[in-house]
């Protein structure tokens, strides 16, 4: 059950069964990852409306940013993913 749910989120979180809070977090993470230059204070309002306080929003921004950072470092250094991690759909063959 959990593996199926995680697979749904990895494939496309929009189709997964998520709470309002989790959906807001995923949307925030995607926006911050794809286009960080357009982030404004307005991007935080859906998170607050979903029940997150400033500390939780800060923590979310830190976690998303760290993963973006460390993935870029790994990409820059040519680090291959662990063999047990399946390639993302549509990713070029290694």
CATH number at residue 22: 1.20.1290.10
Whole-angstrom distance, CA of residue 52 vs CA of residue 42 = 14
In tens, the pLDDT along 41-94 reads 999 999 999 999 999 999 999 999 999 999 999 989 988 888 877 776 666 665
5 within a domain of the structure (yes/no): no
| Position 6 confidence tier, pLDDT thresholds 50, 70, 90 | confident
Q: Is the pLDDT of residue 32 over 60?
A: yes
Q: How many domains would you assign to the chain?
A: 1
Do the Cβ atoms of 87 and 94 come closer than 8 Å? yes
pTM, entire model: 0.80
For residue 5, the model assigns a pLDDT of 82
């Amino acid at each position: 059950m959990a593996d199926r749910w995680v697979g749904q989120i990895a494939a496309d979180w929009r189709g997964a069964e998520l709470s309002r809070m989790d959906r807001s977090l995923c949307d925030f993470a995607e926006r911050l990852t794809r286009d960080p230059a357009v982030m404004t204070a307005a991007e935080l309002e859906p998170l607050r409306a979903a029940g997150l306080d400033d500390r939780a929003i800060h923590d979310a921004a830190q976690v998303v940013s760290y993963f973006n950072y460390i993935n870029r470092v790994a990409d820059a250094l040519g680090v291959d993913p662990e063999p047990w991690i399946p390639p993302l759909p549509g990713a070029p063959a290694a």
